[in-house]
Chains A and B, each alone.
Chain A
Amino acid sequence: MAMLTLTLENKYVDILKDLDSSPVEIIAKKILTDAVQHYALERINERITKARQQILFFETKYGLVYEEFQKRISADTGFVQQLEQADPVWDLDLETWQYYIEVLSTWLGRLQNISKM
């Protein structure tokens, strides 16, 4: 566990003492942990939502999920020709699609870690 020392202004120490009979250090640690967890969850969920929206955009555009799309372009030359006719740089979508799948995987992993707190 990484240790981080924070300084709390006297006015907050005083109010915590007045509001709770537990030691200030314990109350402050709990409040801070809860606040950081809440903040982290919010920010992680923003990243997850963005990645999911991007993935959904490509799934809708190509009518397939990524794995099926990969299989189709590997096996179906007619399909690849259609894609190339529609846009010769269609394969850059594939790179972006994969990018957001990796982003999603990263943040789902981080979410799992945070949720264990």
Chain B
Amino acid sequence: MAWTIAKHIENVITKAEHFLQDVKIIQHDEDIQRAIIALEGKWQNYRVVIQEIHRVDGTIRYAYCLLNEANKQLYRFDNSGDRLAIKLRYKADWKKYQHAEIPHQHDPDNQVTLTNAAMTFEDFLMWLSNKME
């Protein structure tokens, strides 16, 4: 295999198992042009769901989600082609960038705000520790 992401994915799983409880791997696949890791676990009374899709060109589609006991999403950090995020970034030109991957976050009040840079799983765990402790 010309490209491998195995080490990174192994690292994500190790970190998840260290920081979260009841970790369940939802998806894990490594292919020649892309790889996916999706898992969920408990952090205190919260449900944490994460997903990373790595492409051979080095780009990553990610989502790190925090849900409460009632399974309501509180926070989510992702770079999906969210229409609100694209409008925030490109304003009147947003239609030209309809599938652009824009790092952003969703707050409990459904507000979407742009983030300065793409988030990693490590960043998310750091945020979780700082914000929710």
Contact = CB atoms under 8 A, between A and B. Distances in A.
**Interface of A (DSSP majority class):** helix
Nearest to A86: B71
Band of interface residues on B = 20 to 34
Given A89-B65, A89-B67, A96 B36 contact: yes
Contacts of B105: none
Nearest to A99: B36
Interface string B58-77: 00010101010001110000
B34 A88 contact: no
A42 B36 CA distance: 23
B107 interface: no
Contacts of A91: 80
B86 interface: no
Interface of B: 26-27, 29, 31-34, 36, 38, 49, 51, 53, 61, 63, 65, 67, 71-73, 80
Interface of A: 47, 50, 87-89, 91-92, 95-96, 99-100, 102-103, 106
